[in-house]
Structure formats: C-alpha cells, structure tokens
Structure 1
Amino acid sequence: MRLTEFWKKMNAQFGSGYAESFASDHVMSELGGRTVREALDAGWETKDVWRAVCAAMGVPASRQ
C-alpha cells in the first residue's frame, strides 16, 4: 500500500482533522508502543500499520 493510499484510508475513517492527531498522539500496543507516525518513521510497512489501526479501532471489514 502506498503512503498516499494509507492517508486516504486514515482520513476516510477518522476525518481529515482527527486522522493526523490520531497518528501523532495515539500510542498503540499493536505497533509496539509506537504511534502511527513513529511506526511509519521506523520503517513499518503501511499495510501493517493500517492493519494494526483497523484491529485496534474496530474498523469494519468493508472499510479496510
């Protein structure tokens, strides 16, 4: 998954204003105690980060 597609999905799920805040501020155990931004900066694959967000936040399968 390209980074642009990842952010489209984040914005669609959380709204453009909250997606950035969530990515920067919400520490997730699914990402090893990192935020979305930290995981991406550490080299995590975008598809793996998106899957972790979906699992943690209960994103419906139809929106994954």
Structure 2
Amino acid sequence: MRHSEFWERMTLHLGPGYARVWAATQVMAELDGRTASEALEAGVDPKVVWRAVHASLELPARER
C-alpha cells in the first residue's frame, strides 16, 4: 500500500476534513503508542498503519 492509498482510505472513512486530524491525534497501542501520522513519519509501512486504523475504527473486514 502506498501513502496515497492510505490517505484515500482515511478520507473515505473519516471525510476530508477529519482524516488528517484523526490521524494526528488518535494514539494506538498497535503502533507502539504513536498516532498514524507519527508512525508513517517514522517509516512504518502504510499497510501496517492501515491495519491499526482499521481495528481502531472497527471497520468491516471487507475494508481491510
């Protein structure tokens, strides 16, 4: 998964105004206590970050 696909999915599920805010403020244990934005900036694979977001938002399995 590319960063652009990650952000497309975030926008799809959270909206264009809230996706980046959520990614910058929601801390997730699955990302070692980092936000999605921090994890991406640290070089974590966007697919790994998406899996953590997916679990946190409790999205349907088909959205994985």
Q: Same fold (TM over 0.5)?
A: yes
Calculate the aligned-residue CA RMSD, in Å: 0.8
- Number of residue-to-residue matches in the alignment: 64
Aligned to 1:23: 23
The structure where helix makes up a greater share of residues is: 1
The structure where strand makes up a greater share of residues is: 2
Q: Which runs of 5+ in 2 are unaligned?
A: none
- Residue 56 in 1 paired to residue 56 in 2? yes
Q: Which residue identity does 1:60 align to in structure 2?
A: P
Aligned to 1:47: 47
CA distance in 2, matches of 1:57, 1:4: 19
Give the percent of matched residue pairs that are identical in Structure 1 and Structure 2. Answer: 50
The 4+ residue runs of structure 1 with deviation greater than 2 A are: none
- TM-superposed deviation, 1:56: 1.6
- TM-superposed deviation, 1:62: 2.2
**Residues 30, 52 of structure 1: 8 Å contact kept:** yes
Q: Which runs of 5+ in 1 are unaligned?
A: none
Structure 2-normalised TM-score? 0.92
